[in-house]
A = this chain, B = another copy of it.
Amino acid sequence: MAAWSSPPSLRHLLLLRPRLPLSPTCLAGSFSRRHIHSRCRLFSSAASSSTLTHGDAASTHGDADGVVDVNPPRGTRDFPPEDMRLRTWLFDQFREVSRLMAFEEVDFPVLESEALFIRKAGEEITQQLYNFEDKGGRRVVLRPEITPSLARLVIKQGKSVSLPLKWFTIGQCWRYERMTRGRRREHYQWNMDIFGVPKVRAEAELLHAIVLLFQRLGITSSDVGIRVSSRKVLQAVLTMYSIPEHLFTEVCVIVDKLGKMTREEIEKELISTGLSSEAVHGIIDVLSLKSLSKLEEVLGSGVEAVADLKKLFSFAEQYGYADWICFDASVVRGLAYYTGIVFEAFDREGKLRAICGGGRYDRLLSTFGSEDIPACGFGFGDAVIVELLKEKGLLPDMSRQIDDIVFPLDEELEGAASSIASSLRKKGRSVDLVEDKRLKWVFKHAERINASRLILVGNSEWERGMVRVKILSTREEFEVKAGELE
């Protein structure tokens, strides 16, 4: 049916990628480009030393000799400096686009009440909760997604906030899954959400944000597309076959598995909810549509689904991102709470899982016992995008960079070095103060960390209140009065 292999569920947002065949230490470096080999080598040597165990299952405890596993818990990552620089760079892109779109940043606890995520539609996300009971008997979870927390805060803020409200957040999400499939249990997700805009203008703004991000990253519309549909398409089909309203969510969650399961399995699941086989075929036929005019033919032009989608495509023209988006009725998304437009970005080569996904969820607040507010949003994970950037050669140079290295050539000059470092830092320069090394090491170090200048504090100069400065890019060298260093 769908031309893409990856099912449109939230699964991919959880950044689940096949474990590298090498070792979990290498897995930690899904972010890493250049250093992965050295780190894997390291792991091998480390693993062969007697001081390290690599735990599986429950063996992550320290053993009797107090030897502690040096790996983070299974399915999680450390961010050593090179990975952290990449993450910071990516998050900065998320933040910059959010600023362009005039969204405000918010945040929530990574630990939430389980009740926020209890939904009955059989979504994968609620079946893989990283949940437990705390010492006070509360059911809590490491959140699998951020939207319910957003909705919770919107309700809490109540009338003190003025609508529309445009919020973004970047946070870690968790899922508990047996590691047999070798997938990660956490990822970071950029979320942008609009509350209080019932029209598809909100969706048009969200798609604009996603396109702006891709453009900033150097990705073009021939690399990536965004498939768009509406849950109202399915809604209209259910109405055509007089299928009761309460089956809607369940049907959405089932048909979202198209691509993951065979058509026959899907049909069987649909029929087990009580649908006629005529209705089932009607649903599956509509989901294969890839053109809006065909959809209009099938559903009729008065239908909301068609009007919404037409409006959104016309917005796309006006914003100038029409070449990024296409209609695809098979997009349903795996979250139970979507009610209208749904969308997901995909690589056109079809190699990766969806890059991001989202949609309208106008009726989430009432499931929390509050009055509904029209809302839509998306989640954009930190993993698939990095894979894509890697593949396209678009990852920027992430090397370290500092301004000055201050190096006293003699131990008795450590005081002079201190005051020089101190005054340069006060002037806003990043200063690495190095001691007890050979000059040769210092030069190598300067190269490794991309230092701009080397400031050598030597006895003969210091007696005259001078220091020796070496500009590392030009190899120019000169003496400066210590007090006049800028």
Decide yes or no whether A115 CB sits under 8 A from chain B.
yes
Decide yes or no whether A393 CB sits under 8 A from chain B.
no
Q: Type the 1/0 row for A360-376, where 1 means its CB is closer than 8 Å to any CB of B.
A: 00000001111100000
Q: Type the 1/0 row for A118-137, where 1 means its CB is closer than 8 Å to any CB of B.
A: 10000000000010111111
Is there an interface contact between A318 and B418, defined as CB atoms closer than 8 Å? Answer: yes
Decide yes or no whether A68 CB sits under 8 A from chain B.
yes
A88 to B169 Cα, complex, angstroms = 12
Which residues of the other chain, B, contact A104 by a CB distance below 8 angstroms?
A: 81, 84, 400
Is there an interface contact between A78 and B108, defined as CB atoms closer than 8 Å? Answer: yes
For A417, the closest partner residue in chain B by CB is B318
Which residues of the other chain, B, contact A76 by a CB distance below 8 angstroms?
A: 109, 111
A58 to B65 Cα, complex, angstroms = 39
Given contacts A57-B138, A113-B61, contact A152 B368 (CB under 8 A): no
Is there an interface contact between A107 and B133, defined as CB atoms closer than 8 Å? Answer: no
CB within 8 Å of B: which A96-120 residues: 99-102, 104-116, 118
Decide yes or no whether A140 CB sits under 8 A from chain B.
yes
> Which of A38, A158, A445, A449 has the largest number of chain B CB atoms within 10 A?
A158
Is there an interface contact between A46 and B109, defined as CB atoms closer than 8 Å? Answer: no
Which residues of the other chain, B, contact A208 by a CB distance below 8 angstroms?
A: 421-422, 425
Given contacts A67-B369, A134-B132, contact A110 B110 (CB under 8 A): yes
Given contacts A38-B160, A402-B102, A419-B319, contact A137 B70 (CB under 8 A): no
Given contacts A430-B102, A432-B102, contact A107 B132 (CB under 8 A): no
For A40, the closest partner residue in chain B by CB is B160
A397 to B271 Cα, complex, angstroms = 60
One of B39, B134, B318 near A176 (C-beta < 8 A): B134
Is there an interface contact between A68 and B109, defined as CB atoms closer than 8 Å? Answer: no
Is there an interface contact between A100 and B429, defined as CB atoms closer than 8 Å? Answer: yes
A38 to B156 Cα, complex, angstroms = 12
Is there an interface contact between B106 and A81, defined as CB atoms closer than 8 Å? Answer: yes
Is there an interface contact between A46 and B84, defined as CB atoms closer than 8 Å? Answer: no
Is there an interface contact between A414 and B201, defined as CB atoms closer than 8 Å? Answer: yes
Is there an interface contact between B101 and A425, defined as CB atoms closer than 8 Å? Answer: yes
Given contacts A66-B368, A133-B132, A318-B415, contact A72 B108 (CB under 8 A): yes
Is there an interface contact between B87 and A418, defined as CB atoms closer than 8 Å? Answer: no
Is there an interface contact between A159 and B201, defined as CB atoms closer than 8 Å? Answer: no
Is there an interface contact between B39 and A111, defined as CB atoms closer than 8 Å? Answer: no
A108 to B70 Cα, complex, angstroms = 12
Is there an interface contact between A69 and B115, defined as CB atoms closer than 8 Å? Answer: yes
Decide yes or no whether A43 CB sits under 8 A from chain B.
yes
Shortest beta-carbon distance, A129 to chain B, in Å? 10
Which residues of the other chain, B, contact A162 by a CB distance below 8 angstroms?
A: 445, 448
Decide yes or no whether A167 CB sits under 8 A from chain B.
yes
> Which of A80, A116, A159, A425 has the largest number of chain B CB atoms within 10 A?
A80
Decide yes or no whether A485 CB sits under 8 A from chain B.
no
Decide yes or no whether A220 CB sits under 8 A from chain B.
no
For A82, the closest partner residue in chain B by CB is B104
Decide yes or no whether A79 CB sits under 8 A from chain B.
yes
Which residues of the other chain, B, contact A85 by a CB distance below 8 angstroms?
A: 105
One of B155, B186, B428 near A109 (C-beta < 8 A): B186
Decide yes or no whether A178 CB sits under 8 A from chain B.
yes
A159 to B41 Cα, complex, angstroms = 10
One of B52, B157, B321 near A39 (C-beta < 8 A): B157
Decide yes or no whether A71 CB sits under 8 A from chain B.
yes
Decide yes or no whether A51 CB sits under 8 A from chain B.
yes
Decide yes or no whether A348 CB sits under 8 A from chain B.
no
> Which of A38, A107, A118 has the largest number of chain B CB atoms within 10 A?
A107
Known: A70-B152, A72-B112, A162-B445. 18 other contacts (CB 8 A): A42-B156, A42-B160, A43-B156, A45-B159, A51-B371, A52-B370, A61-B115, A73-B109, A76-B111, A78-B156, A80-B153, A80-B157, A101-B425, A101-B431, A110-B172, A162-B448, A208-B425, A319-B422
Which residues of chain A have a CB within 8 Å of any CB of chain B? 25, 35, 38-39, 41-43, 45-46, 51-52, 55, 57-58, 60-62, 65-74, 76-81, 84-85, 87-88, 99-102, 104-116, 118, 130, 132-140, 142, 149, 152-153, 155-160, 162, 166-167, 172, 174, 176, 178-179, 186, 199, 201, 204-205, 208, 212, 314-315, 317-321, 367-371, 400, 402, 414-416, 418-419, 421-422, 425-426, 428-433, 435-436, 445, 448-449
